[in-house]
Structure 1
Amino acid sequence: MNQKIFGLHAVKQIFNTDISSILEIWVQQNSKNLQDLIKDAQQHGIPIQTVAKKSLDKLSENGHHQGIIINYRVPPTPSLEQILKSLKVSPFLLILDEIQDPHNLGACLRTADAAGVHAVIIPKNKACKLTPTVRKIASGAAENIPLIEVTNLVRTLNWLQKQGIWIIGTDDYSKTSIFESKLTGPLAIVMGAEGEGLRRLTKENCDSLVSIPMLGKIESLNVSVATGICLYEVVRQTKGKVSKFKDLTGF
């Protein structure tokens, strides 16, 4: 599958990690800050088109392209089984239950990568996909961390539990604070959709439910902000010793 990728951070990440999968490049006229990328692309024999800004606006559907768009051959995503088998440390997963906003998904991917999450899992239906906008917001994280789409999220939760992974769901009504919970060992953090939170069946199939204390007058946090708090509480409890998985680009 090919996809047009835009945004300087996302493009640079692909240049650094997977330049051989770049098929074509469109660059805005008189873009002096892109000369290093252009030179690198020329050395790899990648076709480059220099075009007007309005052409990039059209190609990106008026996205914030920052003067460059690439046509990228997206590599196959490793399966969840492959990822777990490759790990030499306790699995650390993030599960997003029907996140709809591409900006939230991109922000969650960026935070997950920063926190050392090994994979992010989403349902195939009623959830935002890995679009160019998501990649742009993720600022290169989408190229570092696998985004796994599953047909049945509850079935996936049950399978993960059989692999010895503790499933921790987030729920505003839980009386257990995330800061009072043990978050070490193999685990997956499950975050709910914007406004709706976790679906009933998702909630019922978690091993435990936790909440983030709300000390002010607002009732809830943006899902990407809440995700950051939860993931970094895991990092705090594991003293930052959360490792990445090995390279899986060969799958």
Structure 2
Amino acid sequence: ATGVDGIIIPKRRAGQLTQVVAKTSTGAIEYVPVARVVNINNTIDKLKKANFWIFGTDMKGADYNDWNADGPVAIVIGNEGKGISAQTKKKVDQMLTIPMVGHVQSLNASVAAALLIYQGFNSRRLKNK
């Protein structure tokens, strides 16, 4: 729905691609390639060599509403409990945050990913109008 070219997930410590995932994706799993990688940091290095801008998520990042997602970008979504590792944080070009009010200060990883992906889509769509 937003023009994502692919999904990269780690081989270890990540959910499997099950029938539930396929159903939840409303069929997108059939059209969007999913790559399982051994080392996310090595993958980030490869993406950077291919001129991708890498964005991560952190409570102390820049407001995602101001994000310019123009060009080839990749988003790193952290673990729901621990976030992105310190080593991975050093590799990203910019950290983004989704501002929140109230007692809840973090989102489910899939919800955060959806918001960021849609914001990237809007950033590109509005620029091309």
Fold match (TM-score > 0.5): yes
What is the number of residues matched between the two proteins? 128
Instruction: Confirm whether residue 138 of structure 1 aligns to residue 25 of structure 2.
Output: yes
In structure 2, the residue matched to 1:154 is 41
Cα shift at 1:241 = 8.8
Q: Deviations over 1:82-108 (max 9, x none)?
A: xxxxxxxxxxxxxxxxxxxxxxxxxxx
TM normalised by structure 2 equals 0.90
Equivalent residue for 2:91, pick from 181, 189, 205: 205
Larger Rg, first or second structure (1 or 2): 1
Secondary structure, in 3 states, of the residue corresponding to 2:69? coil
Report matched runs for 1:181-220 at 5 Å. Answer: 181-220=67-106
In structure 2, the residue matched to 1:173 is 60
Say if 2:80 and 2:107, in contact at 8 Å, map to a contact too. Answer: no
Say if 1:168 and 1:209, in contact at 8 Å, map to a contact too. Answer: yes
Equivalent residue for 1:226, pick from 112, 116, 127: 112
Higher-RCO chain (CA-CA 8 Å, sequence separation at least 6):
2
Structure 1 regions of 5+ residues with no counterpart? 1-113, 243-251
- Mapped to 1, the partners of 2:91 and 2:5 lie a distance apart of 21
Secondary structure, in 3 states, of the residue corresponding to 2:55? strand
Structure 2 regions of 5+ residues with no counterpart? none
Cα shift at 1:130 = 0.9
Q: Deviations over 1:27-52 (max 9, x none)?
A: xxxxxxxxxxxxxxxxxxxxxxxxxx
Cα shift at 1:195 = 1.9
- Mapped to 1, the partners of 2:30 and 2:66 lie a distance apart of 33
TM normalised by structure 1 equals 0.48
- Mapped to 2, the partners of 1:206 and 1:167 lie a distance apart of 5
- Mapped to 1, the partners of 2:99 and 2:14 lie a distance apart of 27
CA RMSD of the aligned region, Å?
1.7
Opposite residue 214 of structure 1, the aligned amino acid is M
Equivalent residue for 1:123, pick from 2, 5, 10: 10
Cα shift at 1:173 = 2.3
